[in-house]
Structure 1
Amino acid sequence: MFFVSHFYEKHVDDYLILENPNRKIRSYPGDEEQLNLTLIQKGILPILNAKLVIKYDMVLESTYDVRKEEQTETVEVPITLLSFERKELSLPVFAKRRGIGKIRVIRLVIPNILGFSEIDLLYNLYHKQEIVIYPSLKEVKGVELIKPRNNGDHQAKHSIYEQPLLQYGTRPYDHGDPFNRIHWKATAKRNELQTKVVEKVNQLSWTLMINVKTVYGTGMIEKTEQMLEHVAYLCRFATERQIPFEIYINVRGKGGVPYVHLPLGEGNQHLMNALELLARINPLGLTAPYKHTLSYVHQQGKSPYIIQIGDLEENHIAVLKRWEQQGHSVYNVEINNLTAKLVPLNSKGGTVLHEQSG
């Protein structure tokens, strides 16, 4: 009996396999999803009356009896696996709130075949399955202030932007005209320097600047969640109207850069990338001072329309006003209780100031 018990403990998992495919599920809060696990016993030793212990992030919620901890839930599922059997398990879960739901721990507790003890097997590889829960969408009123008149660039009488391909004539050369704007064929015809006249256009792309480093205190996490829900609304609004947009968030990126950046793009795939980026933001994670983010972005090319979301301090506003002086239109999302509206930065009530926090 001792030999049989010892042999079982030592070899029951020799040919036991837990499949681990890459699987990403996209969801919204309130949706029901499935965490799928596939166990295969390719050996002759059966696994009887075992229990599969699964620990996952608390952004998910199961209908099973669970043990709740600070950031995770643990559920136990009974399982029997006979010789050469493959078993697929589906654990129904609800997407509770924005975030990334991953399986953190998988353990298989097997009673010894003679009932003398238990065998505790821990899966020590990273489980690749995850549920990406997008933020809900909350309206931002006034966003139609920058609603486009067509699908992208549009002609305008007064604009700081020009489209060299939209040439419609020439004029006599003026002092200060760029050298590469000279129309050489027209110059040769008229024996006088001629400058190309190009169409003035407005480029309707957006730069979304997001400050998730909020003032600490009661309701800090709820405030951050509401802010990200308004950002998600702006991303969908831009996508529906074919407006290219980019995102800067003051979360530390690779190499110590004080922001993460979603490059300029448009379309449904770009929207999915934006929503996934927002889903991965941890309000309790490592953020960067917003003034450092603004300082870096100040040196980059930016869209004509800049939309700022989050708390502002005096030094932040100074940078945004410099961008206005450079010809950008800067707006602020003003959040009051459960509503938000888009207002020009320089309008009355268009900014919310907070004490300096470094």
Structure 2
Amino acid sequence: MTWIRYENGFKWIYNGMIITFTLFLFSFIFGQELLGACFGAVFAMLAFQNYYFSNVGKEITFQLQGKGNRYLVGDEEELVFLFENGGVPIWNGTLKLSIEDAVAPREENLKHFSGIYDLSVPFAIGQNKKIELRIPLEGKKRGLSRITRVILEIPHLFGDGSVMMELNEPVRFENLVYPKVKKREDHLQSAPFRPGEFDQRRSLYQDVFQPIGTRDYVSTDRFDQIHWTASARMQKLQTKQFLPVSDRTVILLLNVVEKDHRSHEFEEKVERLVSYAEYCESHNIPYSVAINIHTFASTPYLYLPNGIGKVQFLRTLETLARLSEKHAKMPFETMLLNLESKGKLPDTIVMVSHESPKLKALIQNWSKKYVVKLDAIAEKGEDEGWNKEQLDKTGTDS
């Protein structure tokens, strides 16, 4: 572990050692043993301090327990440091941490600047000892929080001055705060135009492995659909009936470009998308996610492939927690046309975006062959916010 050392106040120690050693020699030359003993004691004290602070902190290392913490907004976790000191003991030190403000230390009246919390913790460790340092943190807002700076400051035992050690390598530890999760009271309409495995009262397709009964035979029924056992019992031909099914796969599309550069809109859109993902997870509906964040992969935008259940929901939460307004964006309509050209669009499409003339024209065209739901910002002004819906807060099993 590499540290950069900044030493302050060593000059007066060196000067004091030279002066006291000189006075110590003169005292013995002129026969002043008591005075010489006093100067010798001061010289020994300064020499000890010089040795101590020349070696303090050179063999100290630490590691963080785990690879990262996961929070919901308002949740509390502990940041656990495991320190080990193989050199001289450290007394009366101070550990200073700089943490990005997605999480915040549980300390009253703690201020932060430029999105960074600066935290100071008393620190002491003996020689060849190991200690565990726990710092309680609370999830404040959606986002990714890293430890940007670690400084260990050790003051001089006597007089002014200190040794300040700054960690010269990145701390590989992340705190992820998931977006707020809300439960939707409405439902997503599925389209009966594609075969699948989900029950659908009205569908063009049936699951031949799930018979649900019989009915009287009509001349248009196929021969292999006749239920011979039921026909013998009823003394007339009976046709098998199967469960009507359809594909309920959904794609969730998020437009992260803010209308009129309203900063609060970004977070609102993320929360709206999470509410749809939670609905799909609770109703066991497969879904994929596409976001118009520019990437350098084969897919030029952020795309989460189709999945189902809690694993897919946690992937969605983690992906959205890492989103930032600073990421490069691409036009929303460009992403939509790319999805359509590559055949990645299922029958049900949910768009979380603001309205635009180009988007309205595209939706009007897609509505002829897809079920399209546009969750857009109301056009009546910022005070109106999003179109009002009944949303209840709920937790997540993370």
* Fold in common (TM above 0.5): yes
In the TM superposition, 1:117-136 aligns within 5 A as 117-136=161-180
Three-state SS of the structure 2 residue aligned to 1:66 is coil
Say whether the 8 Å CA contact 1:162–1:199 is kept in structure 2.
yes
Say whether the 8 Å CA contact 1:35–1:91 is kept in structure 2.
yes
Query: How much has 1:256 moved relative to structure 2?
Result: 8.2
Letter in 2 for 1:270: Q
TM-score (norm 2): 0.69
Q: What is aligned with 1:27?
A: 71
Is 1:275 the counterpart of 2:344? The answer is no
Three-state SS of the structure 2 residue aligned to 1:251 is strand
Q: 1:338 to 1:142 in 2, by over 3 A?
A: farther
Q: Quick one: distance in 2 between partners of 1:270 and 1:33? A: 24
Is 1:154 the counterpart of 2:199? The answer is yes
Q: What is aligned with 1:306?
A: 349
Q: What is aligned with 2:100?
A: 57
Is 1:98 the counterpart of 2:142? The answer is yes
Q: What is aligned with 2:366?
A: 323
Q: Quick one: distance in 2 between partners of 1:200 and 1:63? A: 55
Q: What is aligned with 2:61?
A: 17
Q: Quick one: distance in 2 between partners of 1:141 and 1:284? A: 33
Q: What is aligned with 1:46?
A: 89
Q: How many equivalent residue pairs? A: 309
Query: How much has 1:51 moved relative to structure 2?
Result: 0.6
Gaps of 5+ in 1: 173-197, 343-358
In the TM superposition, 1:190-339 aligns within 5 A as 201-217=245-261, 220-255=262-297, 257-300=299-342, 301-325=344-368, 327-336=369-378, 337=384
Q: Quick one: distance in 2 between partners of 1:117 and 1:201? A: 77
In the TM superposition, 1:167-182 aligns within 5 A as none
Letter in 1 for 2:283: R
Deviations 1:300-346 (A, max 9, x none): 22221100001132223333344333x2211111444355468xxxx
Is 1:8 the counterpart of 2:52? The answer is yes
Q: 1:297 to 1:104 in 2, by over 3 A?
A: same
Is 1:88 the counterpart of 2:132? The answer is yes
Three-state SS of the structure 2 residue aligned to 1:122 is strand
Q: Quick one: distance in 2 between partners of 1:101 and 1:323? A: 39
Greater shift in the superposed pair: 27-36 or 203-212: 27-36
Query: How much has 1:48 moved relative to structure 2?
Result: 0.9
Q: What is aligned with 2:42?
A: none
CA RMSD of aligned residues (A): 3.2
Letter in 2 for 1:212: V
Say whether the 8 Å CA contact 1:139–1:340 is kept in structure 2.
no
TM-score (norm 1): 0.76
Say whether the 8 Å CA contact 2:250–2:287 is kept in structure 1.
yes
Query: How much has 1:32 moved relative to structure 2?
Result: 1.6
Q: Which has the larger radius of gyration?
A: 2
Q: Quick one: distance in 1 between partners of 2:305 and 2:207? A: 22
Deviations 1:30-82 (A, max 9, x none): 11221222211122x11111110101011222233634211111011111111
Gaps of 5+ in 2: 1-12, 15-46, 212-219, 224-241, 379-383, 390-398
